[in-house]
Amino acid sequence: MGDDHALDIADLNHWFGAGEAQKQALFDIDLEIDRGSLTVLVGPSGSGKTTLLTLVGCLREVQEGSVMLLGHQLHVAKPAQQIALRRRLGFIFQAHNLHGSLTALQNVLMGLQVHGATDQDTQMSAARHMLTLLGLGDRIDYFPANLSGGQKQRVAVARALVGNPDIVFADEPTAALDRESGMTVVKMLKQLGQVRGTTTVMVTHDNRILEMADRIITLEDGRIVNDTSK
């Protein structure tokens, strides 16, 4: 694998269930993803997009095939290595999974505390800065219950990005956002790719994002049926 690849996937297969109920969800996936690129996964419901995203994001165990994530082979990575690798990833999911008992600022700080680095003042200012960039500067002390769906989603985006991840995995990150907020989030990810080399892999049905993607990969019935680079 070259250093220019954030992800290198070969002969990846995945099944759900066992015995007669067993069903194959992914078939022979081969894919290399360049560092700093914005790649979009599209395809009909049930085509395997989320399964692929969770496998390459260390959220599901690889059953067959090879996944090299940031130069590390996942199926041989020890638990401690997997934890270290996960710290280099940012996740944005449709269900934003905010902690209801924490304010917007505290939720974003959670994204930094797993890194355990920098002092508290630096963490605070990084979290405030990220929330401000996402247009939530006046909402930092609000609890999720007092934020709209779109605002909650932007808090989740801030939490994913505040730790400077090497790769961002996003599943329908703009589904709950209006056009302007959705564009802000995608432009930010694109800019992070250009400035810091952050790689983004995103599942979306949002046509507005397709125009901004470097690469569009289409899945159907667990197979890659189209791969378009700009």
Ligand X SMILES: Nc1ncnc2c1ncn2[C@@H]1O[C@H](COP(=O)(O)OP(=O)(O)OP(=O)(O)O)[C@@H](O)[C@H]1O
Question: In the structure encoding, which two tokens stand for residue 182, read together?
Answer: 């959705």
Residues 6+ apart with CB under 8 A from 153: 96, 173, 174, 175, 176, 177, 181
Burial class of residue 117 in the structure, from the number of CB atoms within 10 Å of its CB (0-12 exposed, 13-18 middle, 19+ buried): exposed
Q: Which two tokens stand for residue 205?
A: 């049905």
C-alpha span between 58 and 62 (Å, rounded): 8
The CB-of-45 to ligand X minimum distance in angstroms stands at 3
Side-chain-side CA neighbours of residue 186 (13 Å) = 28
**Other CB atoms closer than 10 Å to residue 92's CB: what's the count?**
24
CB of residue 29 to ligand X, shortest distance in Å: 12
CB 216 to ligand X: min, Å:
14
Is residue 16 part of the contact set for ligand X (CB under 6 A)?
Answer: yes
| Residue 26 beta carbon to ligand X: minimum distance, rounded to whole angstroms | 8
Nearer to ligand X by Cβ, of 46 and 71: the residue is: 46
Which of 6, 9, 12, 25 lies at the binding interface for ligand X (CB under 6 A)?
25
Q: List the x/- string, 42-61, binding to ligand X by CB under 6 A.
A: -x-xxxxxxx----------
Question: Given the rule CB under 6 A, which of 40-48, 148-156, 159-167, 188-196 is the region that contacts ligand X?
Answer: 40-48
Sites of contact with ligand X (CB under 6 A): 16-17, 25, 43, 45-51
